[in-house]
Amino acid sequence: MIHEQLDITHWKQVFSVAQMRAEGQQPDDYNIGGPRSIAVIEQLREEAFATLPGIERVPTDIFLWNLGEPEQRAVTKISGVPYRAAGKPWPLAPSGIPMNFVAQFCFADSRDLLPPLPGDLLLVFIEGKEIRLKHPIPGWERNVIYDIVLGHRNRHYSAVESARLSAVTFEWVSLGEFPLITPEEMPELPWKLVPVYGTRYRTWDYPNIDGFAYPEVAEHIVTTLEATKIGGTPPSPWQPQDDLGSYLCTLNSVFYADTPVYPFLNVPGPISTEEWRAHLNNPTRDFLKIGDMGLMNIFLAADGSLQWVAAG
């Protein structure tokens, strides 16, 4: 195993739905922002539909984040130093500047969920055009940055839309014994993303729980998980994606709920909203945001190319 595995039993005890209800709280969660999110979602799904006879479920590996750099370089992660050979030329944007290393997906622990792949890891590099809001959000020191404009590279756009799209480069890597790039060898990158790395949890998506078949559960309990994930059912990006090929994975924004939960597994306690916003307001460090806290789905086409669709 490359990744550490989430102890879901522990987190269900820490964030007990029964205890929350006894204390007068209404437990619900939608976006995976830490162990509380998945612990609550799993308990609610077990109550409502997870054990229904004949229900379709699709296995998926989701990732909960740890703050900082991992000891195991090959794990699924956002930013930091990639699992990449030393001395290999760095991808460049059309403008000639180095592209941002945004994420890597490690498929070594998830092979049973996917078609045959040309490598063990997929690195994601993004040019990162920044489109700032004309009007700052009150109380925030910085404007929101829209890093990836809605759409994917094979759709048709107007000239204005095409000019706004960020270039995206994917790179396959196989696990092996070779010198890895060091932090000192990396170029200066435009984005200063806070590095996080993933702990894996194998669970399920339920693609056919809808308002017609199960009207009592469809509106308030998550069926398809919106998380950084491998396999399963792709979260909806509000755009057609049936023609893109086999679904591989999703890169999700790094979320924080407005309650003092544990957003990172390796931080021994809650992080307050004020502390989180201090990170977001720091011009030298930022957590990954795709559009307005959106996501990016990645697909493997029949010809071996990688297709993507992003939404915020």
Higher-confidence position of 246 and 27: 246
Quickly count helices (H) and strands (E) in the chain: 5, 12
- From CA 271, how far away is CA 269, in angstroms rounded? 7
Across the range 191-212, mean pLDDT stands at 88
Across the range 40-61, mean pLDDT stands at 90
Which regions of 206-260 does DSSP assign to beta strands (E)? 229-230, 246-252
pLDDT above 90 covers a percentage of the chain that reads 50
Is residue 13's pLDDT more than 60?
yes
Classify residue 265 as exposed, middle or buried by CB count within 10 Å of its CB (0-12, 13-18, 19+).
buried
- From CA 29, how far away is CA 26, in angstroms rounded? 10
Is residue 278's pLDDT more than 90?
no
pLDDT given for residue 89 in this prediction: 96
103's tokens: 């994420």
What does CATH list as the number for 50-311? Answer: 2.30.320
Is residue 305's pLDDT more than 50?
yes
Burial 52-74 (b: 16+ CB within 10 A, else e): eeeeebeebbbbbbbeeebeebb
Region of 102 please: left (phi>0), alpha (psi -120 to 50) or beta: alpha
Cα 57–Cα 62–Cα 68 angle in degrees, nearest 5: 175
Across the range 268-276, mean pLDDT stands at 66
Q: Which of 161-165, 235-239, 277-281 has the highest mean pLDDT?
A: 235-239
Terminal Cα distance for the chain, rounded: 33
Instruction: Give Cα 210 to chain centroid, integer Å.
Output: 24
pLDDT given for residue 133 in this prediction: 45
Is residue 207's pLDDT more than 70?
yes
CB neighbours (10 Å) of residue 163? 10
pLDDT given for residue 279 in this prediction: 58
Across the range 223-231, mean pLDDT stands at 94
Is residue 106's pLDDT more than 60?
yes
Q: Contact, 310 vs 290, CB < 8 A? A: yes
pLDDT given for residue 137 in this prediction: 44
pLDDT given for residue 34 in this prediction: 87
The SS3 call for residue 38 is helix
188's tokens: 């200066």
User: Tens digit of pLDDT for each residue in 65-95?
Assistant: 999 999 999 999 999 999 999 999 999 998 8
The SS3 call for residue 47 is helix
